[in-house]
Amino acid sequence: MTTENHRRTNLPRSLYLLLVSFAARNVTHIESLLGFPDQVGHDIFKQVERLGILQSPHEQSQKCLQLFQEAYPHLVLIKLNLTSATRVVDEYFDHLSQFTCLTELSLAACRLGDQHDMLQNIAQILRLHRMTHLSLEGNCLTDAGLQKLTSPLRMYERGHSSLTYLDLSGNEFITDVGVKCIATAMRNLQTLLLTGTSVKDSGLATLCGRLRLRRAGCPPQPHAFTDEGWAVATVNDWSHLCSQQHSSSSSSTSTASSFYRRRKAADVTSHRCQLNHQSHDIIVLIRDATDREVLPSASQPAHSSCTNSDTTLDAQPNMSAVGCSSPPALLPCQHRESRKRKRACKFHPRDIPPAQPGGATDDELLAMYRQAKKTGEGKDSLWNAMNSDTW
**Cα gap 210→220, rounded to integer Å:** 22
CB 313 within 8 A of CB 184: yes
Going by C-beta distance under 8 Å and a sequence separation of 6 or more, which residues neighbour residue 330?
295
Beta bridge partners of 201: none
Least confident segment among 169-173, 199-203, 252-256, 379-383: 252-256
Which tens digits make up the pLDDT trace of 251-306? 554 444 444 444 344 344 434 444 443 444 688 888 876 555 433 333 333 333 33
Q: Is residue 322 a contact partner of residue 353, using CB atoms and an 8 Å limit?
A: no
What would the pLDDT profile of 21-72 be if each residue is shown by its tens digit?
999 999 999 999 999 999 999 999 999 999 999 988 788 899 999 999 999 9
Burial class (CB in 10 A: 0-12, 13-18, 19+), 12: exposed
Query: Which residue did the predictor score with more confidence, 223 or 257?
Result: 223
Q: How confident is the model at residue 202 (pLDDT cuts 50, 70, 90)?
A: very high
pLDDT at 293: 45
**181 touches 147 (CB < 8 A):** yes
Of 69, 47, 92, residue with least CA distance to 239 = 92
Q: Is the pLDDT at 234 greater than 60, yes or no?
A: yes
- What's the whole-number average pLDDT of the chain? 74
CATH, range 107-220+253-346: 3.80.10
Q: Where are the domains of the chain?
A: 107-220+253-346, 347-391
pLDDT at 243: 87
What percent of the chain lies above the pLDDT cut of 90? 46
Distance of CA 140 to the CA centre of its chain: 18
User: Quick check: 16 pLDDT over 50?
Assistant: yes
Which pLDDT belongs to residue 159? Answer: 54
| Residue 62 burial by Cβ neighbours in a 10 Å radius (0-12, 13-18, 19+) | middle
Residue 104 has pLDDT above 70, yes or no: yes
**Residue 21: Cβ within 10 Å count:** 16
Which residue would you say has higher pLDDT here, 1 or 125? Answer: 125
**Is residue 192 predicted with pLDDT exceeding 50?**
yes
- 361 vs 243 pLDDT, higher one: 243
Rounded distance, CA 102 to CA 77, Å?
7
DSSP 327-365: -GGGHHHHHHHHHHHHHHHSPPGGGPPPP-TT-S-HHHH
What pLDDT, on the 0 to 100 scale, is given for residue 324?
Answer: 37
Do residues 110 and 140 lie in contact, with contact meaning Cβ atoms separated by under 8 Å?
Answer: no
List, as one string, the DSSP characters of 87-112: HHHHHTHHHHTT----SEEE-TT---
Hey, which residues does 79 pair with through a beta bridge? 104, 228
Q: Which residue has the higher pLDDT, 161 or 366?
A: 161
Task: Supply the pLDDT for residue 304.
Answer: 37
Q: What percent of the chain lies above the pLDDT cut of 70? A: 60
Q: Which pLDDT score, from 0 to 100, does residue 59 have?
A: 85
- Quick one: average pLDDT of 317-325? 36
What are the pLDDT digits (tens) for 131-145? 999 999 999 999 999
